Amino acid sequence: MYLRPVHTDLDPQICHNFVKAHPLGLLITHLPSADASGAPLQASHIPFVIDAPPNGFAAEGGETAGSLGVLRGHIARANPQVKAILSATATAPASTTGGLISSIFGSSTSNSPPPPLDTLSDDVLVIFTSPTHSYVTPTFYTTTKPSTHKVVPTWDYAAVQVYGTLRVYNKGEETGAFLQRQVEDLTRMEEDKMQAVCPAGSLKRWDVDESPKSYVEALKKGIVGVEIVIKRIEGKFKMSQENELGDWEGVVDGFKGLGTEDGKRMAEAVEARGKDRVRRGKGDEVIGGEEVVKRGDGADHELSSASAEQAKADGV
């Protein structure tokens, strides 16, 4: 992903919050297909649960396995991508130390060694995107367009990309426990969101244990678990921060002026990512923990690390 500094946010907590808000990720792998007629590059949409490291995020440069957290998900066993993953891990050395979550987050299982789990040798990529995105018309640029007409359209959006090591839970008792936990945690997270937006008492909360256990166990046989230890997590919030103040205000007002829910959400997103620039005065922007000054040459110039730290202290 192209990460222009003014649009970039590498704060792991902010990226984790984004994934929690938009958990439907696109899992991308490049593996030899289990089916000779299939393509090696495959992708599947999977809702994920993201776990923060139990001891907090490591300081930049001090990351170790699991220090940026873990993604957990499940995927249909019949999915061709799963078949490729299982085929690719069939000859991989088996682990005798248990799952990655167990080794990083601790385990409540017995002292008996867990069944081996399989890991891909190459990293995978998962992409999370916000549903709030839009074409930006040059008409919104109320300063530059009238003065020079040197404007073109763009697209504003937000995304987080996660790179890491995938381990598949395919069989054995530990697989059943992993899947049960993952399904319960995902359900609880989304049911919480439903309850938060519905009038009190208008929607009955649903729990996994309301379904017959035998039915849930039968369905679990048709899925496999995936666990991704995060090696790198990167956020890109392209929300017109690169524009000078008049054009940025024009984008906010332009989206508000559409009079639609989508326009309202876009205006809020653009304002949220540029919320400090008006307070600090024309030309000064604080974006994602780094301060950028727009100068006469139109370039983005990063200020000192002290300024960046001040920006973080201000809650950006």
Per residue in 120-168, pLDDT tens?
Answer: 999 999 999 999 999 999 999 999 999 999 999 999 999 999 999 999 9
Q: What is the tens place of the pLDDT at every residue in 283-308?
A: 444 433 334 333 233 333 333 333 33
This model's pTM is above 0.75: yes
How far lies 175's CA from each of 91, 116, 217, in Å?
A: 19, 10, 12
**Once rounded to an integer, what is the mean pLDDT over residues 247-266?**
97
Where is 258: in which H helix or E strand? none
54 or 109, higher pLDDT: 54
Measure the CA–CA gap between 234 and 22, rounded to whole angstroms: 15
Residue 8 bridge partners (DSSP): 236
Contacts of 32 (CB under 8 A, 6+ apart): 40, 84, 87, 88
Residue 281 reports pLDDT greater than 60: no
Q: Which tens digit of pLDDT belongs to each residue from 197-244?
A: 999 888 999 999 999 999 999 999 999 999 999 999 999 999 999 999
Alpha-carbon distance 71 to 215, whole Å?
Answer: 26
pLDDT for the residue numbered 274: 86
Lowest mean pLDDT among 34-43, 112-121, 136-145: 112-121
Q: Which residues contact 116 (CB under 8 A, 6 or more apart)?
A: 94, 95, 96
Classify strands 70-76 and 223-238 as parallel, antiparallel or unpaired: antiparallel
**pLDDT computed for residue 80 by the predictor:** 93
- β-pair partners for 90: none
Annotation: CATH topology of 5-129+161-235: Pnp Oxidase; Chain A (2.30.110)
Scored b (16 or more CB within 10 A) or e, 131-152 reads: ebbbebeeebbbbbbeeeeebe
Domain locations along the chain: 5-129+161-235, 243-316
Per-residue confidence (pLDDT) for residue 289, from 0 to 100: 37
Average pLDDT of every residue of the chain: 81
Confidence band of 266 (pLDDT split at 50, 70, 90): very high
Amino acid identity for residue 52 in this structure: A
Burial class (CB in 10 A: 0-12, 13-18, 19+), 50: buried
Residues 6+ away with beta carbon under 8 Å from 78? 222
CA–CA gap between residue 82 and residue 257 (Å, rounded):
46
